[in-house]
Structure 1
């Protein structure tokens, strides 16, 4: 399209160098005659482009002509150059060139912050995917995203955490990416706010019926409060143990399962360390502790000792049979 081509010409010229008609034509994959017509269009629009004749001639803009983000602070400008997550762009069907986006931003910032901004892009990379790649299907993303943007009601079949299937009608208010998992934030038919994992949406229909977005709703603020409430309401199963000093770092590394860790300093030179561990459930505590074999010894709750001993005996019987 001509409009997009004109923008690309401006981006190329704003680097400040004189660029030949042939170079522009090759870059944009059009004829030199087309470039001349584009230059006329830019001139008519009030863009100060002019040509220089001669062997080293070509097109350039009048010096210092460019839009600058001068109303932003230096830190605010630099923050714009944090690289976008490729997974996020892909999930949201935003098929854009991040390199081209960077060049456009660079041309819009003051000279004194340009290098720092470029360095941030080149030295930081953001990857929101898991190590093995996301296995979650989010085929509903495109249509849920459309419903969010257009304030359209949605009906859907949803598989809950216990595999129960349930049908909902929702007013989708926004999308949130937590780690590598997408959620749609919505109001259900009981007028309550709910978070639905996109990968659990089985069948859905975007309705023609629109809804009125609640006044004062701020997605980021809601999510922070929702996350805080979720963490506070998680069940807690506390276990007092002694562990070998050799596995302290491994226990810390598995903090995904152990939400609280307190180390006693009563016996600093002992090979055993007293710890308080906190798990969501007794079952998770049992599985976690068994995984460390004879390097963890439970003190309380006392009945957990019997459960662990039985599990260990079951394992012995399995391999001795």
Structure 2
């Protein structure tokens, strides 16, 4: 809409000072001719801006002029809370709203704070996903987010790790969590509040049924409890090990001087610990459980025989 574009042009000049017609056209994704027409329209509306000719010229507002057209739309307000994660905002379909919200927030700041915000943006970057592995494909994320905003129930076709691997379930979406580059849906299901990986949703349909989130439910508190329960279920066993100073450092265990350190380490399972401890090579010796020690010893013998040739 032209009205939105005119406001954006005005805010760009207020935030950045002098800008050429070409720069404005690039920011607004329009032609230079359109920028000329928009500038004329703003001037006719009484906005005190003027153009300067020459190589270093451009358009600028009269010194001291500031617009109060900085109110945020609903989408922009939602996007503002995702300002630290522009990739996440884009995945939720709020990329353009985030850009507009940021522009309006910067316009509302005093000049010295705008400069400070700009320096922060130049010097700090939050990159949430981990190093290894491609980002999960989440084709249904926007639909899930839409149902979440509108408080609409969903029917999910979902893939899980245990049998039956594919299920269909009606859920009421309470919240979305971005953890280490992966999206999780927190939703009420027939068996209680459950957590679903969004990339494991095979299909969905949004129902006309509206729902109400129970009083007292807080997404942050639920997620904290979920993580604590997950960790408690994850580490159900224990291993007694000896570690070199390097092994202790890599496992985050306080080292007992320059020699070996004996410690008890929580483990998820023998199979999982087998792979994790092998990464430490000669910096670890497993003493207990005997099943884990025997499995590692067998792997080492196999490797020794393989590389002996």
Structure 1 residue 11, shift from structure 2 partner = 1.1
CA distance in 1, matches of 2:126, 2:5: 30
Q: How large is the Cα RMSD of the aligned pairs?
A: 3.8
* 1:246 Cα deviation from its structure 2 partner: 4.0
Whichever structure has more helix as a proportion of its residues is 2
| Alignment correspondent of 2:40 | 36
Number of aligned residue pairs: 292
Q: 1:68 to 1:216 in 2, by over 3 A?
A: farther
Unaligned runs of 5+ in 2: 71-79
Query: Is the contact between residue 82 and residue 121 of structure 1 (CA under 8 Å) also seen in structure 2?
Result: no
Q: What is the distance in 2 between the residues matched to 1:202 and 1:81?
A: 28
Tell whether the 8 Å contact from 2:7 to 2:69 is kept in structure 1 after alignment: no
Contact persistence 1:82–1:124 (CA under 8 A): no
Cα gap change, 1:59 to 1:286, in 2 (>3 Å): closer
Partner of 1:200: 200
Contact 1:128 1:179 in 2 (8 A): yes
Matched, 1:285 2:273: yes
Q: 1:204, CA displacement in angstroms?
A: 1.5
| 1:3/1:231 CA distance change after superposition, 3 Å | same
Rg (Cα) greater in structure: 1
Aligned match of 2:170: 169
Aligned partners of 1:82 and 1:205: how far apart in 2? 26
Aligned residue for 1:14, secondary structure, equals helix
Paired residues for 1:1-321 under 5 Å: 1-15=1-15, 29=31, 30=34, 32-40=36-44, 42-43=45-46, 49-50=47-48, 60-61=61-62, 63-67=64-68, 84-96=84-96, 102-132=102-132, 134-162=134-162, 164-190=165-191, 192-249=192-249, 251-252=250-251, 261-263=252-254, 265=256, 268-270=257-259, 272-313=260-301
**Structure 1 residues 72-131: Cα deviation after superposition (integer angstroms, max 9, x where no partner):** xxxxxxxx8996334213321223287765544332112332222111111011112332
Rounded to whole Å, the distance in 2 between the matches of 1:85 and 1:245 is: 38
Contact 1:152-1:207 at 8 Å conserved across structures: yes
Task: Report the alpha carbon displacement of residue 16 of structure 1 after superposing the two structures with TM.
Answer: 8.6
Q: In the alignment, what sits opposite 2:73?
A: none
* Residues in 2 aligned to 1:150 and 1:196: alpha-carbon distance in whole angstroms: 19
Q: Distance in 2 between matches of 1:53 and 1:161?
A: 63
* 1:3 Cα offset (Å): 1.3
1:153 is displaced (CA, Å) by 1.2
